[in-house]
Amino acid sequence: MNSTDGAREPHLKTRNSLSGGRIEGSVVQAGEIHHLTVYGGPVEASAAPALPVPRQLPPTPRRLVGREADLAALDRELGDPPGAVDVTVVVTGPAGVGKTALAAQWLRRLAGRFPDGQLYADLRGHAPGGPADPAEALGGFLRAFGIAPVPGSLAEGAALWRSLAAERRIAVLLDNASTAAQVRPLLPGSEHAVVVVTSRRRLTGLGIDGAVFRPVGLLSDAASVQLLAQRVGADRVDRERTAAAQVVERCGRLPLAVCLAAARIAARPVQPLAVTAQALGQESQGLAALDVEGEAVRHALDASFEVLGADTVRLYGLLGLLPFPVFTLDVVCAVGGLAPDEADRLLDGLIDVHLLEEMEGGFRFHDLVKLHARARAEEVRELAEGGAAVDRVLDWYLARTTAAEALLSPSHRTLRRDYTVEPGPRAQEFADETAAVGWLDAETGRLADTVRWAAAIGRVATAWQLVDAMWPLFLRLRPARLWIEAHRIGREAARAAGDREGELRMLTSGGTGLRNAGAGEEASEWFTEALHLAREVGEPLVEADALYGLSQTHRTAGRLTEAADCLRETAALRESRGYARGTALARLALGDVLLVAGRPAEAVPVVMDAHRALAAVPAPYEAARALAFLGQAHVALGAHDEARRCYTEALAEFRAGRARHWEARVLELVGDLARARGDLVEAAARYGESMARYRELAAPDAARLEAALTALAALAAPPGPPPATG
681-720 residue pLDDT tens: 999 999 999 999 888 877 778 899 999 999 888 887 666 6
Domain that holds residue 265: 221-305
Quick one: 90 and 226 in the same domain? no
**pTM over 0.75, yes/no:** no
34 occurs within a structural domain: no
Quick one: 144 and 273 in the same domain? no
353-411 residue pLDDT tens: 667 878 877 998 866 577 778 888 888 888 889 999 999 999 999 999 999 999 888 87
- CATH number of the domain within which 164 lies: 3.40.50.300
257-278 residue pLDDT tens: 888 888 878 878 888 999 888 8
Quick one: 132 and 182 in the same domain? yes
Q: What percent of the chain has pLDDT over 70?
A: 85
For the residues of 540-607, what is the DSSP string, one character each? Answer: HHHHHHHHHHHHHHHHHTT-HHHHHHHHHHHHHHHHHTT-HHHHHHHHHHHHHHHHHTT-HHHHHHHH
92-120 residue pLDDT tens: 887 778 899 999 999 998 888 889 999 99
- CATH number of the domain within which 334 lies: 1.10.10.10
Residue 494: pLDDT over 60: yes
Please choose, from the candidates 268, 289, 276, the residue with its C-alpha nearest in 3D space to the C-alpha of residue 249.
276
42-76 residue pLDDT tens: 444 444 456 678 999 988 877 889 999 999 999 98
Which residue among 190, 215, 240 closes a domain? 215
* pLDDT tier at 31, thresholds 50, 70, 90: very low
d(CA 330, CA 86): 42
**Mean pLDDT (the chain, rounded):** 84
**pLDDT at res. 1:** 41
Beta bridge partners of 87: 194
Quick one: 193 and 99 in the same domain? yes
* pLDDT tier at 9, thresholds 50, 70, 90: very low
18 touches 37 (CB < 8 A): yes
Average pLDDT for 283-308: 47
**pLDDT at res. 719:** 64
126-144 residue pLDDT tens: 665 678 899 999 999 999 9
Q: Which amino acid is at 63?
A: R
Quick one: 178 and 315 in the same domain? no
Name which residue leads in pLDDT, 306 or 613: 613
680 occurs within a structural domain: no
* pLDDT tier at 327, thresholds 50, 70, 90: very high
The number of domains in the chain is 3
Kindly give the residue spans of alpha helices, DSSP state H, lying in 251-339: 255-266, 273-280, 296-305, 310-319, 329-336
Which residue among 381, 400, 428 closes a domain? 381
226 occurs within a structural domain: yes
Dihedral class, residue 150 (left if φ above 0, else alpha if ψ from -120 to 50, else beta): beta
Which residue among 184, 215, 246 closes a domain? 215
Gyration radius of the chain's alpha carbons? 30
506 touches 490 (CB < 8 A): yes
Quick one: 210 and 340 in the same domain? no
687 occurs within a structural domain: no
* pLDDT tier at 427, thresholds 50, 70, 90: low
**pLDDT at res. 288:** 32
